Structure 1
Amino acid sequence: MPVGGKCKSVLLTPDPYHTPGYGGFCPQFQYQIGETFGRTTSRLLTDHNVASSGRRVLADIKIDPKRCATTMDEGTQSQRTRQRSLGDQKLMDNMIPGYSGYIPKSLNYFGTRFTEICRESVSEFEDAYQSQDAKLANLRTSANQIGLTRIISKDCPPDSSVSVIERSERPALTVLACHVANNLKPFNQNTDPNKKFMSGYQGFVPRSRGLMGLGFPIITNKALITFTEEVSKHRQLKNQPILVKRELKSARDPSKKQIYTVGVGMIPDYTGHIPGQKFRYGQTFGTSTENAKCSPPCV
């Protein structure tokens, strides 16, 4: 939306007005006829009898010095801290429009200049990073105060503040893990009433896809029983030797596979070759093919 200037000709459309091609809403525009788009929108925007919000559609291009100075001080300080700690020379305090790289948190800012969007988004990202780093430092301090240590390998440097815990000194988590592994529902006894899953369980249940029409606990019980039986069967067969038995094929008896039978005709719709069949006529297919290999063709 153009803003009025001091040296504008009277032949031009008076400000403010909407440029032709503007597709947004303009109050009472649909009831106006007989004037150009610019003059019509200029008259509607300056008419106090037309209800409007009083705000311009586009943001003012004039920069607020106080707001700009405060934003620049905060954003510049955060970016300078980032440059000193990480050596990042891409996200500067004077970003040039057209930069196509990734700018963290930039999707949360819009409606202002590119440089301000970059400054505020990078400043927010740096503040969140520093806040997370401070929380982690406080957590480590609290852990050291109550005597908690972390299990690390023996290859850690000698000046490390984290003490090494030997394998025998580790907490008895392995006992709990063994207890859980031994009490897994798929490997419980088939007669165990707890060999099932509660309704709402979203994990994988083996052999349950083909079961339907029953309650979820019943389906999981049957599926787990089937799975346990299959696993037990595979474990039993795993150690058994594999024996391959092949039956010797005897010589084929030519009398067992006769195409042209003796005393019986061929089955209708037989599409194979029949000797002399094209010279026979006046009979049914079964009669004409009786003893087809032995009988001479009809003349």
Structure 2
Amino acid sequence: MTSIAYRHADVDGFKVFYREAGRKGAPKLLLLHGFPSSSHMFRDLIPKLADRFHIVAPDLPGFGQSDMPNRDDFAYTFDNIANVIERFTEAIGFDRFAVYVFDYGAPTGFRLAIRHPERITAIISQNGNAYEEGLSEGWNPIRAYWQDASPSNRDALRALLTHETTVWQYTHGVSDTASVSPDGYSLDDFYLSRPGAHEVQLDLFRDYQSNVALYPAFQQYFRTHQPPLLAVWGKNDPFFLPAGAEAFRRDVPGAVVRFFDTGHFALETHATEIAAAISDFLDH
């Protein structure tokens, strides 16, 4: 049995919850979750990798068990999320590490990479996008909000925060929905139901345009630094298309791209296969 510790770090007064496993001194691996999830999404992956890596998986600000301060006290932007996670890595002594990025974890992790390329030993992107061609038409309602931040456009996005939509995110593109545990989407729904959580998420929908604006900078980082890069992709993802995974090869010709017959939350159905791909990738 692999022991997983559940901890909190004080990051300049901001409480960051995280899961930690593996031997200190082993190669470091930072796991960054996405929307509307938390580090809970890595519950199956961590035990499969902890025998060879020192793993840390934080909850992003406003997610999971990490602090969700009032919007008057903390601006929910991806820059600010990256600021907290950057300081978190420094606080726990993660000086050089491989980073696993998924969904919102991608623009967070890629910000860390362009700020401190010397700290990144490798990148594993699981449906973590950095290319325009990776964005599906499912982004159109959010794009409309970027163009016009009207109350009506904001309210239209509330449909993305319902229980039904969360379940759909987990099950769309999965061949056998009975293979998807209800634990993940039920916990996400619990966190989304907290007072103020919807407004936090709507703010982040609005700010996601800042990530798209940074795509050229992310791509320049890939070209310049040529980080070892593995893309493990649920090919039926309704938000991030396979073209986004293939595009990594344009900037990192040695990138390894693996597709799995599943949806957005690929770890729900393919944690064993993805863990094996990561182990093989990082061992070479």
Report the TM-score, using the length of structure 1 for normalisation.
Answer: 0.15
**Bigger Rg over Cα:** 1
Higher strand share: 2
Q: Of the two structures, which has the highest relative contact order with CA contacts closer than 8 Å and spacing of 6 or more?
A: 2
Report the TM-score, using the length of structure 2 for normalisation.
Answer: 0.16
